[in-house]
Amino acid sequence: MTKRIGFIGCGQMGQAMIQGMIDAGVVKAEDIAATALSDETIDFVTDEYGIQIANDNKRLARESDLLFLAVKPYVYQGIILEIRDEVPEETVVVTIAAGITLDAMKEAFGRNVKVIRSMPNTPSLVGAGMSVLCPNDFVTEEELADVMEVFESFGQAEIVEEKLMDAVPAVSGSSPAFVYMFIEAMADAAVQQGFPRDKAYKMVAQAVEGSAKMVRETGRHPGELKDAVCTPGGVTIAGVNKLEEVGLRSAIIQGMNACTDKSKELSGKK
Ligand SMILES: NC(=O)C1=CN([C@@H]2O[C@H](COP(=O)(O)OP(=O)(O)OC[C@H]3O[C@@H](n4cnc5c(N)ncnc54)[C@H](O)[C@@H]3O)[C@@H](O)[C@H]2O)C=CC1
Ligand SMILES: O=C(O)[C@@H]1CCC=N1
C-alpha cells in the first residue's frame, strides 16, 4: 500500500477523495498531506479532516509517494512547471482533470514520469464514488494495484484504455450533475403537487438510489425493470409516454455527447 499520499489542491474533488479514503480506514489521516492557496482552506481542512496541509507544493511533491493533482485543468501547466524537478522518479502522479492526456503530462514534465490519468466523481465523499483510471507505460502492475486499492476505498474503480478517457466524464465524472438535475426536477414536480421539499428530496433520492441498486444487483436489463413497473393501462405508462414525447432519452444522449465533445476539445482532439 502506498505510504504518503499528497493532494496539490484540496477543493470539492480533493476533499471528497480524502474524506472517502479516511472513512474507509485504508489510509490514515496522518499519511495524507495537501496544499491549498488560502489560509481559510488550510484552517478548514485541518479541522475537518485532520490531515497535514500547507501551501508548499514543492515540498509536497518531494515527500509524496502518490501525488494527486487536484486542481482545475488550466492550473496544471503552472503547477507542473513548479514541481517537475521535485517529483521523485518512483512517485506516481495522478491527474484527475478532463482533457489532460498522458502525452501532455510527459511533455509538461519533460521527462519520463509515472502517471495515472484518472476521472473520479464527487460521490467518493460518501464512499460511493466511481473512478476510471488509465496508467502510462512507466507505472508497474504493483503500483497500479496499490493505486486501485486507494480508489476502491472510496467506491468502485475501473481501468480503461486512454482512447475512452474523453468519454468517461459524461458517463461517471460529470453524470452526478445530470442526476442531481433529474432529482431536482422530480422534486419540483412533487412540491407542485403539495409535498414539502425535504420529503420530496428524500422520496426521490431513495427511488433513484433503489433503482440504481436494482440495475446493479439483479443484473436485469433496465428496459425489463421499467416494464415491470408499467401496469397495463396504469399510471406509469402514461408518464413514460409523456417523457418519450418530450424527448427525455434524446436530451440525455445529447447532453452526454456535448460533455464528451468538450472533453475531446480539451484533449486537443477537436
Ligand atoms: N468537481 C467534480 O465533480 C470533479 C472534478 N474533477 C477535476 O478535479 C479537479 C479539481 O476540481 P474541483 O475540486 O471541483 O475544483 P475546486 O476549485 O473545488 O478545487 C481546486 C482547488 O485547488 C486550489 N488551487 C488552485 N491553485 C493552486 C495552487 N497553485 N496550489 C495549491 N492549490 C491550488 C484551489 O484553491 C481550490 O481549492 C479539476 O481538474 C476537475 O476537472 C474531476 C472529477 C469530478
Ligand atoms: O466539469 C468538469 O470539467 C469536471 C470534470 C468532471 C466533473 N467535473
Q: Does the annotation flag 73 for ligand binding?
A: yes
Mean pLDDT of 28-32: 95
* Domain identity same for 183 and 207: yes
Whole-number Å distance, alpha carbon 71 to ligand 1 midpoint, is 3
Contact 42, 105 (CB under 8 A): no
Contact 14, 120 (CB under 8 A): no
Last residue of a domain, one of 105, 126, 160: 160
CA atoms within 13 A on the CB side of 3: 5
**223-232 tens-digit pLDDT:** 999 999 999 9
* Domain identity same for 24 and 154: yes
Percent of the chain with pLDDT over 90: 98
CA dist 208 → 116, 150, 186 (Å) = 32, 27, 10
Laid out side by side, the sheet with 32-35 consists of 52-54, 32-35, 5-8, 66-69, 92-95, 114-119, 129-135, 155-159
Q: What cell does 107 get?
A: 511533455
- Could you tell me the CATH number of the domain that includes residue 184? 1.10.3730.10
Mean pLDDT of 18-46: 95
In a domain, 58, yes or no: yes
- pLDDT attached to residue 3: 85
* Domain identity same for 75 and 177: no
Is residue 171 in contact with ligand 1, taking CB distance under 6 Å?
no
Q: Hey, which bits of the chain come out as E strands?
A: 5-8, 32-35, 52-54, 66-69, 92-95, 114-119, 129-135, 155-159
* Domain identity same for 189 and 122: no
Contact 4, 63 (CB under 8 A): yes
- pLDDT attached to residue 189: 98
Distance of CA 52 to the CA centre of its chain: 23
Domain count of the chain?
Answer: 2
Last residue of a domain, one of 94, 127, 160: 160
Is residue 120 in contact with ligand 2, taking CB distance under 6 Å?
no
* Domain identity same for 117 and 249: no
- pLDDT attached to residue 1: 57
In a domain, 168, yes or no: no
Kindly give the interhelix angle for 248-266 and 235-245, rounded to the nearest 10 degrees.
50
In a domain, 152, yes or no: yes
* Domain identity same for 77 and 111: yes
* Residue keyed to cell 465523499: 125
Whole-number Å distance, alpha carbon 184 to ligand 1 midpoint, is 25
Q: What cell does 98 get?
A: 478532463
ipTM for the complex shown: 0.98
* Domain identity same for 156 and 182: no
Last residue of a domain, one of 160, 187, 221: 160
- pLDDT attached to residue 270: 74
Q: Is the pLDDT of residue 106 over 90?
A: yes
In a domain, 52, yes or no: yes
Q: Is the pLDDT of residue 6 over 80?
A: yes
**48-100 tens-digit pLDDT:** 999 999 999 999 999 999 999 999 999 999 999 999 999 999 999 999 999 99
* Residue keyed to cell 500500500: 1
* Domain identity same for 148 and 198: no
| CA-73 nearest atom, ligand 2 | 3
Is residue 37 in contact with ligand 1, taking CB distance under 6 Å?
yes
In a domain, 75, yes or no: yes
Contacts of residue 218, defined as CB under 8 A and 6 or more positions apart, other chains included, come to: 225
* Domain identity same for 83 and 209: no
Mean pLDDT of 186-198: 98
User: Beta strands 114-119 and 129-135: pairing type?
Assistant: antiparallel
- pLDDT attached to residue 259: 98
* Domain identity same for 205 and 90: no
Q: Does the annotation flag 199 for ligand binding?
A: no
pTM of the model: 0.96
**C-alpha–C-alpha distance, residues 160 and 138, integer Å:** 16
Q: Is the pLDDT of residue 2 over 70?
A: no
Is residue 13 in contact with ligand 2, taking CB distance under 6 Å?
no
Whole-number Å distance, alpha carbon 14 to ligand 1 midpoint, is 7
- pLDDT attached to residue 159: 98
- pLDDT attached to residue 88: 97
The alpha helices in the chain, defined as continuous H runs, are 12-24, 39-49, 57-63, 76-83, 102-109, 141-152, 168, 175-192, 197-218, 222-229, 235-245, 248-266
Kindly state the DSSP code that residue 173 receives in the 8-state scheme: I
* Domain identity same for 66 and 156: yes
* Domain identity same for 190 and 246: yes
List the domain range (segments joined by +) for residue 223: 173-266
In a domain, 97, yes or no: yes
Other CB atoms within a 10 A radius of the CB of residue 86 amount to 16
- Could you tell me the CATH number of the domain that includes residue 54? 3.40.50.720
Q: If pLDDT is split at 50, 70 and 90, which confidence band does 269 have? A: confident
In a domain, 167, yes or no: no
